[in-house]
A and B are shown apart, each in its own frame.
Chain A
């Protein structure tokens, strides 16, 4: 069964450094998402992406964050200047064609980001 893959599985970065988290969504999917889960807390929506632009973003997704689909297969989340509070598990998800809600999102295994 096709799956969403994320790399790396664990990223350790110094505070203030830039980090790029990578995702390969399921190949025929058109909607892409990033979520994060701070340890012990809920999974929170960050951003959705469709047709090469951001469809929706949360308050968390400020100017330090950006997303990109640089080619036909990758979907990346960049944090420009990391802060301690960015430490979390980051999940990528993708969804197939259809109306917005009638296809479920499929999630990757996540990237654990640790900011020192």
Chain B
């Protein structure tokens, strides 16, 4: 069945770049999403990419998609302490209404 996997933890120093990785199994995925969850809060949409794109940049965020390897990454440039949160990738497939979420990556930014 469909599955989305992420590494559980990432720790970076303030000002460095963070790269959060995600792999998925469903080759018919059409959209892939990144959400941010701060403590006690909901899921905040950060960005998303259509499967026919390789890259999308939005200010400090860069999403890279390798469809052949079914690998998605989120790069956060100049990481700040306010970026500390859990980051979820999710995928959806054409014809279905649901998202399949990854396990979430807890990003800790050290001052």
Residues of A bordering B, CB below 8 Å: 4, 6, 31, 33, 35, 42-45, 48, 50, 55-56, 58, 91, 93, 100-102, 104-110
Contact = CB atoms under 8 A, between A and B. Distances in A.
Contact of A31 (B30, B42, B97): B97
B87 interface: no
Interface stretch (B10-18, B56-64, B77-85, B88-96): B88-96
A47 B33 CA distance: 19
A33 B98 contact: yes
A107 B101 contact: no
A100 B35 contact: no
Interface of B: 30-31, 33, 35, 40-45, 48, 50, 88, 90, 92-104
Given A42-B101, A43-B104, A100-B96, 11 more contacts: A42-B103, A42-B104, A43-B99, A44-B101, A48-B98, A91-B43, A100-B97, A104-B33, A105-B99, A107-B43, A108-B42
A84 B96 CA distance: 30
Contact of B31 (A6, A93, A102): A102
A48 B97 contact: yes
Contacts of A43: 43, 88, 90, 99, 101, 104
Which interface residue of B92, B96, B97 has the most chain A CB atoms within 10 A?
B97
Contacts of B101: 35, 42-44
Nearest to B94: A101
B45 A106 contact: yes
Identify the 10 closest CB pairs spanning chains A and B, nearest first. A109-B42, A48-B97, A45-B98, A107-B43, A43-B101, A56-B97, A107-B42, A55-B97, A101-B31, A101-B30
